[in-house]
Amino acid sequence: MAATAAKPPPPSCEVSARRGESGGEEGSVGEPAAGGGGDDDGVGEVGDEGAGEGGGRLGGGCGGAMGQDVGPNAIITTTAGMDRDDLLEKFGKNAAVGQDESRPWEMVGGVGFEKKSKVREPLYVPPAQRLDLNASSPNAPEVAEEFNDLAVKAFKAKTWQLCYDYASEAIRLNPRKKEYLGNRAAAGLKLKAKKYLRQAAEDSVNAYEMDNFYVKAYLRAAEAHLELNERATVKLAVKELKEALKLEPESDKIKALLRDAQLTWEADFD
């Protein structure tokens, strides 16, 4: 019987994989429309990653034999677990996306090789205060109103921290103006950090205690209390929205906010 010639092992090949990834986009939360109430003194106030991976049989592209099993002498390498520097060391600088002119489709960038530059926020400088004045100074109310006007302009320009600081100075010089408290609360809700939310809640409570018909204050207090998401604060939010609804019983906005607050209470705390 004639001997059968042994099949030579397939040439070595290299298999590489690349993964893609996608990201989400942050979004922002808008401020609820504020109701009316208690605004009859002309004081300015602000309005209101998955990875997809493809695969096939290893060796499918080796020696032009699609679907051929990998022989015992084949060398398989992957890029799994390799970082950018490892890839560049192994494959050379042209492995970086956009570095090889023969691959123009990559020139717009790709996953894993792009360099992300950090954009520095401009340094915030707090506005100057009138430390020569206090709440008992004769011209304190007039100067407080000037700071409040600046706070309103800053809010309209969406410079929340600046609005917050201007309103704080207005409050320091005239702490019994509910509109000043409301403006700082509105800015605090935009700033989002817990310390600002707690101050927004406190300012809003003080405002509606000064004026029981001040609907905006009830709504801002409820929003801050819901954002804090604690048992006591969510309970307060439900109560405040009920009070606001008493003042504006036909408001669909307040009804929807109240339903959401009640669902949060029942789901998380009841």
Per residue in 73-108, pLDDT tens?
Answer: 655 556 666 777 776 777 666 656 556 566 555 555
| pLDDT value, residue 53 | 40
Q: What is the pLDDT of residues 163-176, one digit of tens each?
A: 999 999 999 999 99
Within 10 angstroms of residue 60's Cβ, the number of other Cβ atoms is 15
pLDDT in tens, 109-152: 555 555 667 788 789 999 999 999 999 999 999 999 999 999 99
Confidence of residue 251 (pLDDT cuts 50, 70, 90): very high
Model pLDDT, residue 77: 58
How remote is the C-alpha of 17 from its chain's centroid?
A: 33
User: 25: pLDDT confidence band, cut at 50, 70 and 90?
Assistant: very low
Could you write out the DSSP letters of every residue in 138-179? TTHHHHHHHHHHHHHHHHHTT-HHHHHHHHHHHHHH-TT-HH
Give the total residue count for the chain. 270
Average pLDDT, the chain: 77
pLDDT for 188 equals 98
> 185: pLDDT confidence band, cut at 50, 70 and 90?
very high
Cα–Cα distance, 167 to 46 (Å, whole number): 11
* 39-43 CB contacts, 8 Å cutoff, 24+ apart: 39/179, 41/179, 43/145, 43/148, 43/177, 43/179, 43/180
Dist. CA 155–CA 172, nearest whole Å? 19
Percentage of residues of the chain with pLDDT beyond 90: 54
Cβ pair 58, 76 in contact under 8 A: yes
Q: What is the pLDDT of residues 235-244, one digit of tens each?
A: 999 999 999 9
Which tens digit of pLDDT belongs to each residue from 48-82? 633 344 444 334 444 444 445 556 665 555 666 67
Is pLDDT larger for residue 25 or for residue 261?
261
Task: Tell me which residue has tokens 């605090």.
Answer: 188
Per-residue confidence (pLDDT) for residue 117, from 0 to 100: 72
Is the pTM higher than 0.75? The answer reads no
Q: Give how far the C-alpha of residue 96 lies from the chain's centroid of Cα atoms, to the nearest Å.
A: 32
Return the domain boundaries, the chain: 140-268
Q: Say what angle helices 194-210 and 231-247 make with each other, to 10 degrees.
A: 40
Mean pLDDT of 195-218: 98
Let me know if domain 140-268 sits in CATH 1.25.40.10: yes
d(CA 269, CA 267) in angstroms, rounded, equals 6
